[in-house]
Structure 1
């Protein structure tokens, strides 16, 4: 009997509406006697669907890339991207860092943080009070519990989840975690870019030290792309918003730039090497080094992964660092190969060469040989740095730095002009030489569904089939009208 009341009221409301209805004139956007091309209809539909699908899930996320690995040519020495956080959205320039997990930006309460940047960009700070969607992360939050277990996080007396990070270069930051909306471009259909958003947890920095306090290369924060639970890639993939795989292609020439996507860049020449399990970073098993095809006499145990050894991929590092036992044979082999064509010299403690012609015609190629039979071929530009001129000759220096008893680190000097794919689902990293100013093919899932990036990403037919499976039925019906 309880269910009849609402039904009777609803019928009465319909009856009342029928007695007081109004006639509304309808007009066609495209008259019947006017021929309309299918492309025009699709274009109109896409504009509407871009609004409807603002929070649909399961797409590729695209970030712009600015910066360069060459601080001497363009004054950068790092790669960074823009993120939009808060309501209304505010833009922040953050360094791309595969060597750490957390996204953090400077907090408005940070007193000693840089106020200007030598990179020619404005510096912004995050003010939680100015965002209608911002929230404190309490100690009882599951994200805070995860952070406490995996990072130097703690709970403050005010029940805020706090953090303190120390980076490899000696710089550091501390602050507290907040939650707010991250806005990004997601690719959901053919030539369709929807402004999507997701609630994420990130750091609000109230204290910075070391190089982070220097204004010459100051940015608003660091975008950590590690494997930890608090990294943005982990947060988005755990909710089906983005795949558990990301890729970048960092341009080395000119003013730099490049491509960064949450998705897999597809290229036939990519080779893969498995990640070393149970490591906090993207650690690969480097087995040997070859110069001009000749294997260097280096004990394989030199590169073995243990407490303080191994080889990691780190986009937050500008140069490259080689353990001492491998550094000396490497430099000696390079010098011996070019000693008849250049003048070896020492500059500021580094092995350098005075070169009168193109380095690509003189210097040998180098191969870093990894587990799984995957070799990373380095051109001279990937292991040399141009430091100016002397007596009419160009001064080129070894870009690898010697590190004693530490980890071999492959930074931007090595990563530039290559596609790098971080396949977290399959626990592997792939790479291939590539002109990063060109378009790239991108996929939601490894090796199957391809997308195209030609300034703006678009979806192929096979990808649309996958997206239909991932989207709700109501959204899928709308998409059926544009494909």
Structure 2
């Protein structure tokens, strides 16, 4: 997959591991970090719009078929209701314009979650005409204007909030980017950007007095749940179990700026009824990015291969996906991810949370030739792409994103919790409430700059049927996960990881809607169609 604007910058990940660190020759720049913090603390020229309430809580809707999470918002005066996809891996809020051709094209899906009509808002104001330009590695993108208007979410309302208005877009749903404002689209010089940073949503909430510090907590809830929540400015201690432990977010080596939620991924094990297998070596450490805008999890190739062997998964070139029998969802085993080294947070992900539906765009379902239904595994090999922990991991974790202090706190989520105990950040830059600090944090550094982008969904394109009968009946997994009716292929490709043929990876500023999995050139394989 390639960005529309840039193919020049490739992700380079080191492979040598010392006793305590993976070194990426980071160049820390104290001056740049100080300037970045100062910019975040700048106040808006307008007076606070709200009495400082401390927190803003918004419900999220889980679109299970798309594998995406949406927040209901209102834009303009009077307010126009839209649903926006939340994305911790991007930094701009943007909405599709009602005049965009896609929004009136029912055959292309239109804009099912709403579009914004600027002429109906009496507070609409253009900030930069033709200044909004976002491109994606799957070949999609949006262009248009930057504008200011009233923006409301979770009962909080912001006046003169800056957003993008997509007058030309290939994506029918707007995005609520809540990452670092250092990665706003107008700053992407590879994409023609030459703008200046503006207060994006977390910072604007602070400046408006809605929350005390630029931080939020994400509770996606389980795979089958219809809703979760995002809590700006606080932590809900009833939404997790065990300890909430924070780890560092690492800056990029170039300029020392923090542009993505990069943390230290330090261990992975698989547990089933027959025992536990350690899938990573001692003193392991890898830079990994937590990104709610990615539906699956991309692991280092060798680690992903070990996971596939444990779960009896097949990398299907026909479907462009890692597939497993849907019956694997009944397995009671789990994967345990560790972060920040010894004493850091440990998050268990049940195997049942990793089995995703897989359908063709014609609505039909692929099956193995023995008749068993095929599903998608929510873990794939990075294969040259960055290591990303998407929704198939984030659902199992309660995650606190602290943009002021560059820290992430994680705890085991409490699925379907019905109670609430909200604790707000005490002040700007205050530590994460109720969290302790990991004892051993100096694990990784990040050399790549910008936001790494990849996206997949559980939809394959095409309708060809493969008729090859597999000779293998399943992997022999030591931990007892072995599934039946899989082929023996465990190779990974950029096509299976990102829904496209092998190409050099290019950084992009944002990632959003699911990329359809390719089903092209099928001439044989292990699948048939119902």
1:357–1:314 distance in 2 versus 1, CA, 3 Å: closer
2:202 aligns to what SS in structure 1? Answer: helix
Give 1:428's match in structure 2, choosing from 407, 413, 417: 407
Matched, 1:271 2:245: yes
Match of 2:472 in 1: none
Deviations 1:61-89 (A, max 9, x none): 12221124x42xxxx32111111111111
Name the CA distance, whole Å, in 1 between partners of 2:49 and 2:130.
Answer: 30
Match of 2:175 in 1: 222
Name the CA distance, whole Å, in 1 between partners of 2:110 and 2:226.
Answer: 15
**1:101-180 equivalent positions in 2, closer than 5 A:** 101-113=91-103, 115-116=105-106, 122-138=112-128, 160=129, 162-180=131-149
Q: Larger Cα Rg: Structure 1 or Structure 2? A: 1
What is the RMSD of the two structures over their aligned residues, measured on CA atoms?
3.3
Match of 1:245 in 2: 215
Match of 1:414 in 2: 393
Which structure dedicates a bigger proportion of its chain to helix? Answer: 1
Match of 2:200 in 1: 231
**1:73-472 equivalent positions in 2, closer than 5 A:** 76-113=66-103, 115-116=105-106, 122-138=112-128, 160=129, 162-186=131-155, 196-209=157-170, 212=171, 218-219=172-173, 221-228=174-181, 229-242=198-211, 243-254=213-224, 256-267=226-237, 269-277=243-251, 278-292=257-271, 293-297=276-280, 304=286, 310-335=287-312, 347=316, 348=319, 350-354=321-325, 359-361=330-332, 363-371=333-341, 373-387=344-358, 391=370, 395-431=374-410, 432-445=412-425
Deviations 1:119-168 (A, max 9, x none): 99854322333211111215xxxxxxxxxxxxxxxxxxxxx360211234
1:110–1:184 distance in 2 versus 1, CA, 3 Å: same
Name the CA distance, whole Å, in 1 between partners of 2:175 and 2:320.
Answer: 31
Is contact 2:143–2:168 with CA below 8 Å preserved after alignment? yes
Is contact 2:50–2:209 with CA below 8 Å preserved after alignment? no
Q: What is the total number of aligned residue pairs between the two structures?
A: 341
Is contact 1:298–1:326 with CA below 8 Å preserved after alignment? no
Scaled by the length of structure 1, the TM-score of the pair is 0.62
Deviations 1:242-270 (A, max 9, x none): 23111121133435211112122233532
Consecutive unaligned residues in structure 1, runs of 5 or more: 1-52, 139-159, 187-194, 213-217, 305-309, 336-343, 450-483
Compute the displacement of 1:434 (Å).
1.4
1:199–1:275 distance in 2 versus 1, CA, 3 Å: same
Matched, 1:56 2:51: yes
Which structure dedicates a bigger proportion of its chain to strand? Answer: 1
Name the CA distance, whole Å, in 2 between partners of 1:230 and 1:315.
Answer: 21
Scaled by the length of structure 2, the TM-score of the pair is 0.57
Is contact 1:117–1:123 with CA below 8 Å preserved after alignment? no
